[in-house]
Amino acid sequence: MKQGIHPDYRPVVFEDSSSGNRFITRSTVSTNRTTEWEGETLPLVLVEISMDSHPFFTGQMKIVDTAGRVERFERRYGRRKKA
């Protein structure tokens, strides 16, 4: 690899602002915030949604009933005639 052209790949703490959960991973994201993690000062990135607050992962996802949409469309506007 060429020296000096790659971003700094380092451990970063991500914090979910809605649930307050924090996790550490490696990233190249830049931020001015820092936090203490196990005695180490690491960059901190605040995220609005993570796997702890996303409805898909928490099981609170709403299922939209789409059955009958095609039939309703055909009743309103009639069936398309094939040429």
Q: Is the pLDDT of residue 71 over 90?
A: no
For the chain, the average pLDDT equals 82
How large is the average pLDDT for residues 51-78?
70
pTM: 0.62
Element (H, E) at 32: none
DSSP state of 60: -
For residue 72, what are the CA distances in angstroms to 6, 53, 77?
Answer: 55, 35, 9
Q: What is the mean pLDDT of residues 44-50?
A: 89
**CA-based nearest residue to 6, from 33, 35, 28:** 28
**78 vs 30 pLDDT, higher one:** 30
Residue type, 70: V
